Amino acid sequence: MTEQSQILIDVNNLDSAYGDRQVLHDINLQVEQGEILVIMGGSGSGKSTLLRNMLGLMKPRTGSIEFGDINICHATKAEISKLRRSMGVAFQGGALLSSLSVGDNIKLPLRQHTDLDENTISIMTRLKLELMNLADHEDLMPSELSGGMLKRAGLARAVIMDPKILFFDEPSAGLDPVTSVELDQLILNLRSAMNMTIIVVTHELESAFTIADRIAVLFDGELVITGTVDEIKACTDERVVNLINRKPRKNQLDADKYLSRLTKGAN
Amino acid sequence: MSFDCSEHLHYKLLHLTGEVDLHNSSEVRRCLLDILKQGKSVIVDFSDLKYIDSSGMATLVEGLNIANKNNLSLIIAGANGAPLQVLELTRLNQVFTIVDSVADIKE
């Protein structure tokens, strides 16, 4: 991080759980203005949970997530609503409303949050569709799109308001290699042209190494390392090395905990 | 964001300063469409523009469409930095007539 960098999101001592199951342990992470931060880790490492906490969709057990002077964990509805106007979220499967056309899905945030003229809204929508290589798909229904198209349409909706912060959950998952590379380039272009701060959750190494300024590696809910691509590649922590070399996890079995899980609730 | 309107040759010169975004692009739109309704060609001066979002770009696209239909011109001058990158990202640099500066427009 440079000394002049402005911290946009500050995650402090974050613990998060689903019921009794603690998923995130003491996460400390800062996101700089204008950077592309990739949150990387295997399935079940807590990536999506961290994202849900950052979006205010989930309350942590302890800790804070500050956007400037607003802590989203204790923010009022009005504060969260204001914050969310500066955020765009592209969900893994696109999350389009199936009863609306692609165009109407993308227009939805503008119609809900602005009083822009309908001509402006239509042109903005087509500009974003062009950007996503989805020209002439405006009138199609989501069910008529492929998985990759749905993802791009979801991204178009996420960036329709030109958000300051874009959250992108698994951009490359389920895409063919060419579309995946195109999407990586698009993320880089969005950052440079729109000065967006972009947080990408992925387990795709190649994509992470291509787009990231910094990578945060999660393993079993713990932040193992946050660093540049070179720092991650040079990291000697076995968990990071295994992730990079795609080695399967070796789970050391805790016999007592295992037995306790199996017999929970039994007399 | 602020903008002012003056004359340059037979053009109206719309000089944009600061940032054009969702909150103020409607004002730019009203001004731009007014100029075109008067049957005037327009130069949009980007030289002091720091940022323009897609609502601003959409406004200019709408203006260009009206200009073309009425045999008028809409020229962008002095685009640099992030606004120039937005023009390139959206490939609108291939749609608009873009010049380096207002001084380059001689007639």
Considering only alpha carbons, which residue of chain B is nearest residue A124?
B58
Q: Any idea what DSSP says for residue B96?
A: S
Instruction: For chain A, state the CA radius of gyration.
Output: 20
Contact A257, A263 (CB under 8 A): no
Considering only alpha carbons, which residue of chain B is nearest residue A164?
B53
Q: Any idea what DSSP says for residue A32?
A: E
Residue-level pLDDT at A251: 65
**Six-digit token string for B21:** 């975004």
Kind plus residue range of the DSSP H or E element containing B3:
strand B2-8
Asked if A117's CB is within 8 angstroms of B29's CB, the reply is yes
Contact A51, A167 (CB under 8 A): yes
Residue-level pLDDT at A4: 59
* Annotated domain spans of chain B: 2-104
d(CA A108, CA A227): 37
Q: Look at residue A112 and tell me whether its pLDDT is greater than 50.
A: yes
Q: What percent of chain A has pLDDT over 90?
A: 52
Strands (DSSP E) found in chain A:
7-18, 21-32, 36-40, 62-67, 70-71, 87-90, 165-169, 197-202, 214-219, 222-227
Q: Any idea what DSSP says for residue A244?
A: H
B73 touches chain A (CB under 8 A): no
Q: Look at residue A237 and tell me whether its pLDDT is greater than 70.
A: yes
Token pair 């063919």 is found at A176
B27 touches chain A (CB under 8 A): no
Query: Which of B80 and A182 is assigned the larger pLDDT?
Result: B80
Nearest CA-CA distance, residue A183 and chain B, Å: 13
B59 touches chain A (CB under 8 A): yes
B4 — phi, psi (to 5°)?
-135, 155
Asked if A193's CB is within 8 angstroms of B82's CB, the reply is yes
The confidence band for A149, taking pLDDT boundaries of 50, 70 and 90, is: confident
Q: Any idea what DSSP says for residue A145?
A: S
Task: Give the distance, in angstroms, between the CA of residue A128 and the centroid of all CA atoms in the same chain.
Answer: 19
Catalogue all structural domains in chain A, each as residue range(s) with its CATH number. Answer: 7-86+164-262 (3.40.50.300), 100-162 (no CATH)
Is CATH 3.30.750.24 the classification given to domain B2-104? yes
A86 touches chain B (CB under 8 A): no
The confidence band for A31, taking pLDDT boundaries of 50, 70 and 90, is: very high
Angle, alpha carbons A82-A85-A88 (nearest 5°) = 140
Identify the CA nearest to A58 among candidates A23, A33, A87.
Answer: A23
Asked if B54's CB is within 8 angstroms of A160's CB, the reply is yes
Beta bridge partners of B76: B44, B98
Kind plus residue range of the DSSP H or E element containing A47:
helix A47-54
Q: Which amino acid is at A232?
A: I
A234 touches chain B (CB under 8 A): no
Asked if B59's CB is within 8 angstroms of A127's CB, the reply is no
The confidence band for A5, taking pLDDT boundaries of 50, 70 and 90, is: confident
Token pair 């291939």 is found at B94
Least trusted range by pLDDT, from A17-21, A153-157, A176-180, A206-210: A176-180
DSSP string, B16-50: EEEEE-TTTHHHHHHHHHHHHHTT--EEEEEEEEE
Query: Which of A250 and B75 is assigned the larger pLDDT?
Result: B75
d(CA B24, CA B57): 12
The confidence band for A2, taking pLDDT boundaries of 50, 70 and 90, is: very low
**Six-digit token string for B107:** 């007639």
Q: Look at residue A175 and tell me whether its pLDDT is greater than 90.
A: no
d(CA A177, CA A166): 22
B95 touches chain A (CB under 8 A): no
In this complex, the residue of A114, A123, A189 whose CB is nearest that of residue B62 is A123
Q: Could you tell me whether strands A222-227 and A87-90 are parallel, antiparallel, or unpaired per DSSP bridges?
A: unpaired
Contact A33, A8 (CB under 8 A): yes
Kind plus residue range of the DSSP H or E element containing A126:
helix A118-131
Nearest CA-CA distance, residue A131 and chain B, Å: 6
